């Protein structure tokens, strides 16, 4: 393959598209899992959600074949999750002698 700038740009844009689709898929699945936890009675805190990352790639087969279902519409997602505010105890202060 020659070093054609326009072809290289297409490949870069395609890779960005794939990465964005992976992240979107992970957000959808994580939201469903979080809703399941809420339904089971677990409380979600902003601190716990802050450490989650939608860029998980362990389940992605970079070289595999995937079947695409273009006739399947995704169900609507409600991204608003009720969070519980967790109060942290006041930090201990040490008096200087």
Indicate the domain borders of the chain: 1-59+79-86
89 alpha-carbon distance from chain centroid: 30
Residue 22 Cα distances to 1, 13, 79, angstroms: 27, 14, 17
Coil vs helix vs strand at 51? coil
As given in the structure block, the two tokens for residue 65 are 């074949």
Q: pTM of this prediction?
A: 0.60
CA-nearest of 8, 95, 85, 2 to 43 is: 85
CB 46 within 8 A of CB 83: yes
Chain segment 30-89, per-residue pLDDT in tens:
888 888 988 898 888 888 888 888 776 676 766 666 677 788 887 787 777 776 665 555
């Amino acid at each position: 393959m020659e070093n054609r700038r326009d072809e290289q740009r297409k490949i870069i844009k395609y890779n960005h598209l794939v990465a964005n689709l992976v992240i979107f898929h992970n957000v959808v699945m994580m939201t469903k899992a979080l809703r399941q936890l809420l339904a089971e009675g677990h409380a979600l805190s902003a601190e716990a959600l802050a450490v989650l990352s939608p860029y998980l790639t362990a389940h992605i087969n970079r070289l595999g074949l995937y079947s695409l279902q273009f006739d399947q519409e995704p169900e609507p997602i409600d991204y608003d999750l009720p969070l519980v505010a967790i109060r942290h105890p006041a930090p201990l202060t040490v008096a200087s002698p």
